[in-house]
Amino acid sequence: MEIRSTTVAAPEIDADAIVIGVLSDRPLSGSAAQIDAASGGLLKRLVDRQELSAKPYDVTLLHTATGIKAPLVAVVGLGPADKFDRATLFRAASAASRALAAKARSQVAFYLDDLGQAALVEQGVAGAVVGCQGQDLYREKKARFAPTTIHWASNNLAAIETGRVLGEGINLTRRLVNEPPQEVYPESFAARAADVAKQFGLSIDVWDQAKLEAERCGSLLAVAKGSARPPRLVILEHRGGRAGDAPLALVGKGVTFDSGGLSLKPSDGMLTMKCDMAGAATVLGAMQTIARLRLPVNVIGLCGLVENMPSGTAMKLGDVLHARSGRTIEVQNTDAEGRLVLADVLNVALDRKPARIVDLATLTGACVVALGTDVAGLMSNDQPWCDTVARVSRELGEPTWQLPMFADHRLTDYRELINCPIADIRNVGEGRWGGAITAAKFLEEFVGTTPWVHMDIAGPAFFDKPKSWLDGGGSGMFVRTLVELAKGS
């Protein structure tokens, strides 16, 4: 798919469809006013009759409007003017793109009146690239058809290119999450990462079973014991900053399929567990984008890759694992496996002496119970770093909410909930309570004093049903957040 800049007026462009936006509390302006004038006041009449919605992300399709060269006009709602921002434009462009992608079209032009502001152009173009891609990877009859060319009404060529690169990074993450588990497993994910590294100039180191054993990654290896698929650890590096500058570390959980192990999940709970590698997929999508944009920073991405399967060789309840850091862990639930993988990966990240760490994991159902399916949980050992991650994610419309990590005995000490009489810690807390937080307290044991934020993305990483602005399946959420964090690091 090609993305081109255009300066042709909306009524005059020769395209299969055009996209314009309308605010809910402002008169028609910009390209919408041009379309209205050229069509003899059609838009104004529809607005007055409440036949055209300006509600955010609602799309109204108008066919063969008089005076408009394009045979189809997609009008997308932008909501109120005081809430219009990058997040709104990303989703609005994605919603319009998704609606138009229901049929094969060659040329689609977007007129969303971004006034040439780079940050808005980037997010709008990214949304247009993302919205036209679905999860119909293996359907004989496709449900989504990306246009051959998208024309974007802006002369900011650099911002258009950045938006395209960002959208393609998000779509890489989405495709990896949407692929079935017989296609995406530790070895194949590592091979995909190697292809990305070769194509876009990242350095890569892949640790195989022998290397993981030599590095004493006993916690990660224990999760992989039940599977015929050997584990991998992928380490990607983008060296865009000055030599010696401490990097930003991005760490992703990559359980390519999670049966629960001997603590076997029910079928309903297992059905979407191909998405349990979304943290690693998000890191890879972000690293591809960071490399393609040649950001002047140092960033490392680490993906711990395993399958969690039941078998005669699988880890058992009561096993005591020896993590790479030297900590010992009693296994009290084999379905609390993601934290066991991350324990060793975080320790490897510390070897690179990062300035800050973000880890992303579809870690706990408890976080979904607490925050719902659209919001990721944030937990941290460093409040300023957590505030930065929260601000950036929310500005981009990728919502997060901080959960407490109290270490003050006058309040409560969640750390006590993972105390263990046999080993240093156990891999679950006491009972059902505070499950997302006790998982984060477990991870905190492996990051030392380095500023660290844990993002539990179990809810928003995978949409069980479509949104108005995106198909169901892998969402690609937080690729944009990670790239923005890298820009500011």
Cα 261–Cα 262–Cα 266 angle in degrees, nearest 5: 75
Residue extents of the structural domains in the chain: 2-154, 171-488
CB 299 within 8 A of CB 225: no
- 406 or 161: which leads in pLDDT: 161
pLDDT of residue 413: 84
Catalogue the long-range contacts made by 87-91 (C-beta closer than 8 Å, 24 or more residues apart).
87/123, 87/395, 87/396, 87/397, 87/398, 88/56, 88/397, 89/114, 89/120, 89/123, 89/124, 89/127, 90/123, 90/124, 90/126, 90/127, 90/396, 90/397, 90/480, 91/56, 91/57, 91/127, 91/397, 91/469
| Rounded Cα distance, 95 and 386, in Å | 30
pLDDT of residue 102: 96
For residue 393, report the phi and psi dihedrals to the nearest 5 degrees.
-65, -40
What number is the average pLDDT over the span 100-127?
Answer: 92
- pLDDT above 90 (res 489): no
Going by their DSSP bridges, the two strands 17-22 and 72-77 should be labelled as: parallel
- The CA-atom distances, in angstroms, between 194 and each of 190, 200, 287 are 6, 10, 12
pLDDT of residue 259: 98
- 113 or 210: which leads in pLDDT: 210
Largest Cα–Cα separation, the chain: 79
CATH superfamily name and code, 171-488: Zn peptidases (3.40.630.10)
Token reading at 458: 């179990």
Cα 445–Cα 346–Cα 295 angle in degrees, nearest 5: 135
What number is the average pLDDT over the span 41-56?
Answer: 94
| Rounded Cα distance, 182 and 161, in Å | 34
Q: Is 292 helix (H, G, I), strand (E, B) or coil?
A: helix
Provide the percentage of residues in the chain whose pLDDT is more than 90: 95
- Does CATH number 3.90.550.10 belong to domain 2-154? no
**Which DSSP category does 69 fall into?**
S
What number is the average pLDDT over the span 121-144?
Answer: 96
| Rounded Cα distance, 445 and 425, in Å | 9
Q: Which of 253, 324, 339, 480 is catalytic?
A: 339
Taking only the tens place, the pLDDT of each residue in 386-442 is: 999 999 999 999 999 999 998 766 667 889 999 999 999 999 998 888 999 999 999
pLDDT of residue 394: 96
- pLDDT above 70 (res 261): yes
Taking only the tens place, the pLDDT of each residue in 216-252 is: 999 999 999 999 999 999 999 999 999 999 999 999 9
Among 89, 88, 59, which residue's Cα sits nearest to residue 74? Answer: 59
Domains 2-154 and 171-488 equal at CATH topology level = no
Q: Which of 216, 239, 265, 352 is catalytic?
A: 265
Q: Is 339 a catalytic residue?
A: yes
Mean pLDDT (the chain, rounded): 96
pLDDT of residue 115: 58
Q: Side-chain half-sphere of 4: how many Cα atoms within 13 Å?
A: 14
- pLDDT above 70 (res 114): no
Strands of 263-350, DSSP E: 298-308, 320-322, 328-330
Cα 413–Cα 415–Cα 416 angle in degrees, nearest 5: 80
Q: Is 114 helix (H, G, I), strand (E, B) or coil?
A: coil
What number is the average pLDDT over the span 24-35?
Answer: 94
pLDDT of residue 406: 87
| Rounded Cα distance, 126 and 163, in Å | 4
Q: What is the pTM of this model?
A: 0.97
- pLDDT above 70 (res 43): yes
